[in-house]
Amino acid sequence: MRMTATPETPAPAAASYEPTDRTVPSRSRARARYDRETVHAILDQGYVCHLGFVRDGAPVVLPTLYGRIGETLYLHGSTGSRPLLAAGRTDPGLPVCVTVTHVDGLVLARSAFHHSLNYRSVVVHGTARQVTGEEELRRALDALVDQVVPGRSADSRPASAKELAATAVVRLDLAEVSAKVRTGGPNDDPEDLGLPYWSGVVPVAPAYGMPVPAADLAAGIAAPAYLAEL
């Protein structure tokens, strides 16, 4: 559902994003990935990104929600930053860097030096522009909600025109994009293999608890089935 291409974002022909100077890492190049399948899968598994922009010459990094529709990321702009909201309103838009990271495991080596994490991350460079059209804004808001809980936008009251007008969303094309992936066990030096320290990986993943109904939830409204899919 999230992979549906919209008229504004036709599905591209190339299977991979073109690497650029700033998407080729200077270290751990073997961990870099540019194929859309890997990038989309990493993005689709999350809903919180870290949005970076420049304010008065200095970097700012704020967490915010995102949703993906085809080759477009929609970012919730109510991050508490006036410059972000203002700058995205007019051309030429706001240069941003958006990063999404999942931690999959703690990698414990025999040596302190070789400790590491298993992780998957995506970094997107580009220009954010505020979404102003009501139709695109509505689709974007649905994408933001469904990114957190797939299926939820259809099971809630749609935004009113007034609410849409109060919703700050910026769009960012997926064009200059890279992923980094580390998997597997520790890479201990051969001479350390006999040391008496435990070595291996502790898996990590987000876990969802039992849904807690709102205090004012009317009797008889059960938790929806799609929450069990999380």
- Binding to its own copies (CB under 8 A) within 76-115 occurs at 78-82, 95-99, 101, 103, 106, 108-113, 115
Position 167 contacts its own copies (CB under 8 A): yes
Nearest to its own copies of 12, 227 (CB atom): 227
Position 209 contacts its own copies (CB under 8 A): yes
Q: Which residues are within 8 A (CB) of 71 and not within 5 positions of it... i.e. 6 or more apart?
A: 5, 9, 11, 12, 173, 174, 175
Residues counted in the chain: 230
Tell me the closest approach of the beta carbon of residue 5 to its own copies, in angstroms.
22
The separation between CA 128 and the C-alpha centre of its own chain, rounded to angstroms, equals: 15
DSSP assigned state of 80? S
With contacts defined by CB under 8 A, how many residues of the chain interact with its own copies? 99
Nearest to its own copies of 14, 225 (CB atom): 225
Position 206 contacts its own copies (CB under 8 A): yes
Site for its own copies in 7-26 (CB under 8 A): 22, 25-26
Q: Token pair for residue 51?
A: 């949005």
DSSP assigned state of 4? P
Q: How many CA atoms lie within 13 Å of 218's alpha carbon, on the beta-carbon side?
A: 2
Nearest to its own copies of 10, 213 (CB atom): 213
